[in-house]
Amino acid sequence: MFSFFRKKDNEPDKPELSQPAAKPGQPAPQHAPAQAEAPKTPDSASYNLSELSIEVEDAGAHLTPDEEQAVVLYANKQAQAAVAALKAALPGVIGSRRHETWLLLFELYQQLGDRKAFDELALQFVVEFEVSPPAWRDLPKASTAHTGAPGSAYVAFGPALRSDGADVEAAKLVKACADGGAVRADFSKVTEIESLAAAELLAAWARARKAKARLQILGGDHFIELLKGKIEPGRKVPMEAPFWLLLMEVLQSTGDQEGFDNLAIVYAVTFEVSPPSWDDKLAPSPEQKAEAAAAQPASPAPNPSAPDQLVLSGELLGGAANALAAIRDFANTHPKPVLDLRKVSRVDFETAGQLLNLCMELIQQGRTLVLHEPNELVAGLMHLLGITELVDIRPAYQRH
């Protein structure tokens, strides 16, 4: 809020100018009828501009350092560490009538599925604010499966997997698989892959298997089609062999035995060599297939009951290229685009940065996004990166 310019209290009023004397032979000047004195307006002669100041007051809520730390930790998939940070900070905000720490902690318990801790905090919240606390929500299991549990590492690959830098991309996968367990490999935004990059990924795949890591492929259908476009039955080109072999690894990891067997036969005919064999031990179990399916990010879709709303869900990670593209297309065809974020559990820094760029792009086109009910942790990240300055937010919990 900007203050008005004001004249110093001890500054003397500017003397009024006297009327000029009448010349000989001319009538004295007539004064205008008396009127209410007009308010004085500032001018450069009566103010020392160097001593004027503008007072600025930001009416928006700011996150405390502890709250910022919790938001950052959660965005980096360290939910338990975020809980510890907020629990340590909570005694310091009791009595201050500040909601943010409480609401962030509520959301952490919600995402972790800790109903007991949520209910205990709710009792403290009622005593503190004398109003109803946020309500517990029954979230799909997919929303709580990847908030920091051991063995759920995540690695995303960029749009272009080229020969230059292929070793770096492969090293990302090897590092994610070092501790074994389930590793989500996100190929959803890969639009280009070269032969050497495919060979590097093949080597990384072998090392992942040696580390007993279980790969869950995100964007698998898209990546499979990309690899299929690189090969042709009967075309015996040695540089294309890595595409064939990598495609078989992806089919093995996704449990598509029929697709694997058909491809293996065509590979053997094309290159006149024995193909890799299907390994039941490497195929995901039905439970693991269901888990991998739950980890797949749902495609954004318009809300049938609200045509100007685009519904997003799950975790938006690694830049979320498909989701961002859908948002851009939706905003370009709707005058008042609303993103329904009620089912989005987590957004990482890379995706939030891409969303910030998209918001700036849309503002230049005269469009402003509305974010409908993001959870407190997602909203906190948006605030931290300045996205809330570019969009309208409809919070899930109304402060009282």
Residue 314 pLDDT exceeds 80: yes
Q: Which residues contact 59 (CB under 8 A, 6 or more apart)?
A: 1
Residue 16 clears pLDDT 90, i.e. is over it = no
Whole-structure pTM value: 0.56
Domains identified in the chain, total number? 3
Inform me whether the pLDDT recorded for 389 exceeds 50.
Answer: yes
For residues 358-376, average pLDDT: 93
Pure H helices in the chain: 65-75, 79-93, 100-112, 115-129, 141-144, 166-176, 195-210, 220-228, 241-254, 257-271, 286-295, 321-333, 349-364, 376-384
- DSSP-derived secondary structure letter, 334: -
Task: Let me know if residue 358 belongs to a domain.
Answer: yes
Q: What's the CA gap between 210 and 258, in Å, rounded?
A: 25
Domain at 127, CATH number: 1.25.40
Q: Report the candidate in 139, 157, 107, 113 with the shortest Cα–Cα distance to residue 317.
A: 157
Do 283 and 389 lie in one domain? The reply is: no
Q: Which residue has the higher pLDDT, 399 or 141?
A: 399
Within a domain: 365: yes
pLDDT at 4: 34
307: pLDDT strictly greater than 90: no
Whether residue 158 sits in one domain with residue 122:
no
Would you tell me how many other CB atoms lie within 10 Å of the CB of residue 229? 10
Last residue of a domain, one of 139, 172, 197: 139
249-292 pLDDT, tens digit each: 999 999 999 999 999 999 999 999 999 999 988 888 777 666 66
Q: What is the pLDDT of residues 52-100, one digit of tens each?
A: 333 333 333 589 999 999 999 999 999 999 999 999 999 999 999 899 9
Same domain, 73 and 156: no
Confidence bin at 42 (pLDDT 50/70/90): very low
Same domain? For 160 and 280 the reply is yes
164 and 275 assigned to the same domain:
yes
Query: Which among 267, 293, 319 is the end of a domain?
Result: 293
The mean per-residue pLDDT over the stretch 328-356 comes to 91
Its domain, for residue 102, covers: 65-139
C-alpha 251, offset from chain centre? 30
Nearest-angstrom CA–CA distance, 89 and 376: 17
Q: Is residue 78 domain-shared with residue 181, that is, in the same domain? A: no
* pLDDT number for residue 44: 37
**Residue 288 shares a structural domain with residue 199:** yes
Residues 241 and 271 both lie in one domain: yes
260 shares a domain with 169: yes
Average of per-residue pLDDT values in the chain? 81
Residue ending a domain, choose from 244, 275, 293: 293
The pLDDT of residue 145 is above 60: no
pLDDT confidence of 20, banded at 50, 70, 90? very low
